[in-house]
Amino acid sequence: MTVASFDPNAQVVTMTATAAQHFAQKVAQAGDKIIRLSTKTSGCTGYAYVLDLVDGPEQGDEIFQPGESITLAVDAKALSLLRGTEIDLVTEGVNQVIKFNNPNVVAECGCGESFSVSE
């Protein structure tokens, strides 16, 4: 077991090479789009991740370039929840699943759809 500590200077969101390749394909298929990451109130533990392909960032979004052909906008209201998060693409059986490795999470629901952080 490892212990992760909160780093207030950490880049908000990063992607593994596997995730970056996956999203580069999605962006190429969608045309002139960017990826937007936000959260919403949901589930039994508090928040859910929301990934969308959008035309552009919303006002206040923080912009990152996690891959050569990928622009990622992160919702300003979600920055404190997401700081230090790594987006990964993992294979589980025959399925590929987007995973959020978020060091701020203190609890997750059993189905993995929602999470909570210490406020």
Classify 13-117 by CATH class.
mainly beta
Helix (H) or strand (E) holding 88: strand 85-92
**CA separation for the pair 116, 43 (Å, rounded):** 10
**Residue ranges per structural domain of the chain:** 13-117
∠ CA 57-58-59, rounded to 5°: 120
- pTM for this structure? 0.83
pLDDT tens across the length of the chain (119 residues): 444 554 555 578 999 999 999 999 999 999 889 999 999 988 677 889 999 999 999 999 999 998 888 999 999 999 989 999 999 999 988 999 999 999 988 888 776 678 888 76
Task: Using alpha carbons, select from 22, 93, 31, 94 the residue that is nearest to residue 51.
Answer: 22
